[in-house]
Structure 1
Amino acid sequence: MSRVKAKLKWFLPFVALMLVLAGCQSVGGFDVNKALIGDVDVKSSESSMTFSMNAEPIEGISAEDKEMVDLINSFSLNISKAKLQDNGSLSAQGTVGYKQLNIPFTLFMDKQTLAFTVEGAKQPFYFPVQGYDEILGEVGLDTAKAEDVSKLLTKFVVKNLPNPGVINITPVSDAVYGEQLNMTKLHAEVTGDELPALLKGFLKSVSKDTEGFTELVGGLYDYLYPVIKAMDEDGSGDIFNLGFGDIPLDDKEAVVTVLHDAAKLAVDALLLVYDNQVDSLYKSTPEMKTVLSKDTKLSVDIFVDSAQHVRKQNVDLKVALPGTEDFPLKSLSLKASSQIWNIGGAVTADPISTEGALDISSGLTPGETLRNFAPDSDVYRILKDDLGITKRTIVIEPDDEYYYPIVDKNTTYIPLRYLAEDLDATVEWDTANRAINVTDGVYGDKLVFKIGSSEALINGTAVKLAQPVFVDEYGDAYVSLRLLAEALHATVSVDEDGWITIVRK
């Protein structure tokens, strides 16, 4: 397995770690649903959060896999203060833990810009989002209606998920951001072997929840109607067909009824084969018996105040894994905790000035990214040494049909533009001087090659060429491969069969 594939396999389990916990019934007189959806309409608040991971490897793990395990276990996120302003602006400050380092960062987002900066950066980075609402509006989408749909979906899911086997409440007195509060603590636990039954219970509840299901479908209709209407170019209004006959698009009641009935039919059909499908999953994918076992466990503590606002949360998730050679982990654990205060209060997010900031919307080259950090900063070292954003490896065979190398008197010549651009350099043609200007994308060095000249300029210093720069029949300018590669901070090696390897670190 290549090193790239070995790294990619570590990201696969994160796709399947979204476990949702809720309760459809009250516990000891405490309305679980009301507590969990109590913050849906909160417009302003301040909060903090911590997050960490822990991977448990199998015995005899390889050195490369151990390096990745150590990297996972070193990662942490600590948001010391996040501010949500009632106009939708958001700011956050905190640190990212990485290999015994704690790297400070700040972030700000409003309707125009997403901006962030990291310790060691000379200027902030930003991504322009101005006009997002206008773009959505042009295709008929309304962000306010999107929020309404989100609320409906949250309430619908929370209402219909069944209670797990362990769920209880306790009155507690605890501190939130230095303030002692009397709260209700909701504690719940879910194990992997409970999940199939919980999902089945959810589907059964959904099938019976005609009112909630209809309300959700109605909200989706209100959100998507303008888009679908815009697609109805002939104005007939009869494009909506689900196999139950033509239904006028603007007949909301009829459309919602058909959609609800079709969705309910699909849920009921799934319930009929649910147990067999679960058994089939276990047979076809035996590893799921480990993942969906009692060793997989989610524990949640939620602290709710008298106004039904969640003020603190502690989440502890451990996922049992089969521990194979391709994925050598026994388990992966995630821990997160948060607290929230100043709910609905006067909160002002902390903006980040974008004057002189780097626009990442069109993509930054490795050099542009790296040059924005002080060379002695931790992030510079991580980007260059650990992540290797400037690393390039190019292999050229003797009869390569892309580079078309030419060998003359033991010197290999290569099309200048091809190799320079593959090493992240920019290439510009100087018509007046019939010269090619090359700028190193990582280190900023300036190279000048003049057609027909036996000299090149490297950072203003003349360098003798083995042969003058020449142009082939296709208009490609050729220069010495080794001279160009080394001028762009790469090394060149040639094996006994004439294969050339160019490496830049």
Structure 2
Amino acid sequence: MIKRLGKPSKLMLLMLALVLVFVAGCQAIGGVDLNAVLKNSLKVTSSESKQTVAFKLELDETAFDDLTDEEIAIYKLLSNIELQLNDVKMEDSSNVSFNGKLVLGGAASIGFSMKMNEKQAIVEIEGAKQPFAFDMTGTVLTELAGISPAAGTPAANDESLTALGHALIDTIGGYAIDNLPNPEKIEVKPTTETINGESTALMQVHTEMDGKAIWAWVKKYVDALVADKAGLEKMIKGVVEVLSSDPDVWETLGTVNPFEESGELDAPTPDELIQQGIDEAVAMLEELQAELKAMETEDPESIDMLLGDNLTVTADVYVDTKLDIRKQAFELSYTLPTEEEEELALFPIKGFTVTSTSELWNVNEAVKADEVIVPETAVELEQLLELNSYRFMKMFKDDSAVYDILKNKLHLNQQSVSFYTDSYYNPPIVVQGGITLVPLRSTADAFSGVITYDPKSKGIQLFDEPTGTTIELKIGSDKVLVNGVSATWSFPVTSVGGTAYVPARSLSNTLKAKLAWSDLFDEKILTIEREV
């Protein structure tokens, strides 16, 4: 139900919430009712927009000496990430489309697009050989988890649920939003900004806070919530009244209205349940208030480290005459403490910055998202979950940016399998002459191989996709065919408890892999690995 109550696009929610937490206050500023702005933002059911979110790490290259080349490459790749969303069309909470670009390391650029409705979503990624399709009803995930979907649950009415969501926002906002204190540094002024290419008269709300101001603001907010017991009681009673006004809500949720008279002996009355909820909410807020005070007394160092001068937040929100947000810019910057603590001395990150910008237009007006068309070639979710890392990498073209990252940065082309001598399940076996045998199927599975078995002839065929090698073996024989060419392995294929074991070195050489023994305490470990 939450999904359908009418909200901004999911990718905006986090940044939007952070921004508005700092700009909303209990009093209007410069003629702008900031609380009304916050409530309006939660009631956006349709819009067009474009958004950019960027994440940058400040790296300490003096700590690179203790890292491998692969680890350094990963840090540099993730040190500069930018997500661009363009042509975002939100028709309603279920029907959304957009295209965008993901830039990694300031260089590798990956284009993509997404279209979704209440039933399905289709994602296309630049360089992918096929599009990806996802079930949006939850049916596939519940089936994969072995859960039977509930039968007989009525479909929700979008309009009624949206209206219900707006009523809940107004009811809850009277307590949770109206008690928000003003930041110390906040200013409002008229300005003109370009929105979707058009010059638009707006009110700019600017605020900035450091960590200490954020901590003071949080304490002040909690204090205000605790003090407003009358507002809390009014909110809880209002929520119950709103939910009870639409009996279809409880039916949609598949449960009964707990605030109706049940008729059971000694069952709590609706008024008693409401009072119980109020008492529990008051106790929770008072406990939170006490914990914040205790933290200041018992662990001020941690507060200073996390919420000190090294954390800064700035936000600019641009509001139109209808009190709708039309543009916003947000920046959060954090610098790690400089104390010479051992756990930080080898950490190659000195700090990070998160920025977000967005523009919105056609807010709560008629917007049509692009139609979802799932081609027959689309890869479904259940198919994706069955892929190992190598097969997932091969879903992208060899000359694509995604393939380059997966292979040369994340090294998904590296395959390995380890066998433990003390394991009760398929351990390696050392036979006379010092030859080590390993389970064929376990090795093949780790290396993306496909095995077929003929129980009549006891013949086994292994097809190794990465190398294009076909190996034909037979239980009890040391003779094999490799791509049709006869070869002799160092030990016959042996069945142990129904599992086919083969000589490790012979198999490794054929699959162009290396094997090595290592020690873990008193246990020996055999590892077979390769890069394809």
Q: What range is the shorter-chain TM-score in?
A: 0.7 to 0.9
Taking the aligned partners of 2:134 and 2:173, their CA distance within structure 1 comes to: 29
One-letter identity of the residue aligned with 2:206 = H
Shift of 1:122: 0.6
Taking the aligned partners of 2:513 and 2:176, their CA distance within structure 1 comes to: 56
Contact 2:391 2:448 in 1 (8 A): no
Taking the aligned partners of 1:461 and 1:395, their CA distance within structure 2 comes to: 29
Q: Does 1:98 align with 2:104?
A: yes
Describe the shift of the 1:367–1:69 C-alpha distance in structure 2 as closer, same or farther (beyond 3 A). closer
Contact 2:168 2:242 in 1 (8 A): no
Q: Does 1:73 align with 2:75?
A: no
Taking the aligned partners of 2:289 and 2:527, their CA distance within structure 1 comes to: 58
Superposed CA offset, 1:393-448 (max 9, x none): 34446676542323344532222123222334343332344222334365564433
One-letter identity of the residue aligned with 1:266 = M
Q: Does 1:309 align with 2:324?
A: yes
The match for 1:10 is: none
Q: Does 1:280 align with 2:298?
A: yes
The match for 2:115 is: 108
The match for 1:88 is: 94
Shift of 1:95: 0.8
One-letter identity of the residue aligned with 2:92 = D
Shift of 1:150: 7.5
Describe the shift of the 1:476–1:295 C-alpha distance in structure 2 as closer, same or farther (beyond 3 A). closer
Contact 1:104 1:119 in 2 (8 A): yes
The match for 2:428 is: 404
Query: Which consecutive unaligned segments of at least 5 residues does structure 1 have?
Result: 1-13, 239-244
One-letter identity of the residue aligned with 2:351 = S
Describe the shift of the 1:482–1:224 C-alpha distance in structure 2 as closer, same or farther (beyond 3 A). farther
The range that moved more, 412-421 or 214-223, is: 214-223
Taking the aligned partners of 1:420 and 1:30, their CA distance within structure 2 comes to: 66
- Residue 406 of structure 2: which of 367, 371, 383 is its match? 383
The range that moved more, 167-176 or 125-134, is: 125-134
Taking the aligned partners of 1:277 and 1:498, their CA distance within structure 2 comes to: 48
Superposed CA offset, 1:343-384 (max 9, x none): 213322253524211123361222331221112222112112
Shift of 1:113: 1.7
The match for 2:527 is: 501
Superposed CA offset, 1:290-348 (max 9, x none): 22113311111111112221111100111232252364533221011011122213322
- Residue 258 of structure 1: which of 276, 285, 307 is its match? 276
Taking the aligned partners of 1:422 and 1:112, their CA distance within structure 2 comes to: 35
Q: Tell me, what secondary structure is at the counterpart of 1:195?
A: helix
Alignment of 1:310-459 (within 5 A): 310-323=325-338, 324-325=344-345, 327-343=347-363, 344-361=365-382, 363=385, 364-396=387-419, 402-440=426-464, 442=466, 445-459=469-483
Shift of 1:166: 1.0
The match for 2:37 is: 35
The range that moved more, 288-297 or 415-424, is: 415-424
Contact 1:47 1:81 in 2 (8 A): yes
Shift of 1:499: 5.9
Contact 1:149 1:220 in 2 (8 A): no
Taking the aligned partners of 1:429 and 1:219, their CA distance within structure 2 comes to: 63
Taking the aligned partners of 1:116 and 1:176, their CA distance within structure 2 comes to: 27
Taking the aligned partners of 1:329 and 1:499, their CA distance within structure 2 comes to: 34
Taking the aligned partners of 2:218 and 2:405, their CA distance within structure 1 comes to: 42
Taking the aligned partners of 1:231 and 1:40, their CA distance within structure 2 comes to: 27
One-letter identity of the residue aligned with 1:413 = L
Taking the aligned partners of 1:494 and 1:328, their CA distance within structure 2 comes to: 32
One-letter identity of the residue aligned with 2:130 = Q
Q: Does 1:165 align with 2:184?
A: yes
One-letter identity of the residue aligned with 1:403 = P
Contact 1:319 1:333 in 2 (8 A): yes
Superposed CA offset, 1:446-503 (max 9, x none): 433222344334444444333432323x122121212323444422245799864311
The match for 1:241 is: none
TM-score (norm 2): 0.78
Contact 1:156 1:213 in 2 (8 A): no
One-letter identity of the residue aligned with 1:501 = T
Describe the shift of the 1:264–1:287 C-alpha distance in structure 2 as closer, same or farther (beyond 3 A). closer
The match for 2:47 is: 45
The match for 1:11 is: none
Q: Does 1:183 align with 2:202?
A: yes
One-letter identity of the residue aligned with 2:109 = N
The match for 1:479 is: 502
The match for 2:212 is: 193
Q: Tell me, what secondary structure is at the counterpart of 2:177?
A: helix
Query: Which consecutive unaligned segments of at least 5 residues does structure 2 have?
Result: 1-13, 143-147, 339-343
Contact 1:420 1:484 in 2 (8 A): no
Taking the aligned partners of 1:66 and 1:432, their CA distance within structure 2 comes to: 53
Describe the shift of the 1:471–1:59 C-alpha distance in structure 2 as closer, same or farther (beyond 3 A). closer
Shift of 1:184: 0.8
Contact 1:120 1:373 in 2 (8 A): yes
Shift of 1:70: 2.4
Taking the aligned partners of 1:301 and 1:180, their CA distance within structure 2 comes to: 17
Q: Tell me, what secondary structure is at the counterpart of 1:501?
A: strand
Q: Tell me, what secondary structure is at the counterpart of 1:82?
A: strand
Superposed CA offset, 1:53-106 (max 9, x none): 222245732243755542332211111221112372111211111131111111
Alignment of 1:115-130 (within 5 A): 115-130=122-137
Contact 2:310 2:337 in 1 (8 A): no
Contact 1:420 1:426 in 2 (8 A): yes
The range that moved more, 216-225 or 397-406, is: 216-225
Q: Percent identity?
A: 24
Matched residue count: 475
Taking the aligned partners of 1:397 and 1:270, their CA distance within structure 2 comes to: 49
Taking the aligned partners of 2:189 and 2:467, their CA distance within structure 1 comes to: 61
Taking the aligned partners of 1:414 and 1:104, their CA distance within structure 2 comes to: 43
Contact 2:296 2:303 in 1 (8 A): no
Superposed CA offset, 1:195-245 (max 9, x none): 22212222233231232344346667886795554999xx7757xxxxxx9
Describe the shift of the 1:273–1:83 C-alpha distance in structure 2 as closer, same or farther (beyond 3 A). closer
Describe the shift of the 1:431–1:124 C-alpha distance in structure 2 as closer, same or farther (beyond 3 A). same
The range that moved more, 221-230 or 406-415, is: 221-230
One-letter identity of the residue aligned with 2:100 = G
TM-score (norm 1): 0.82
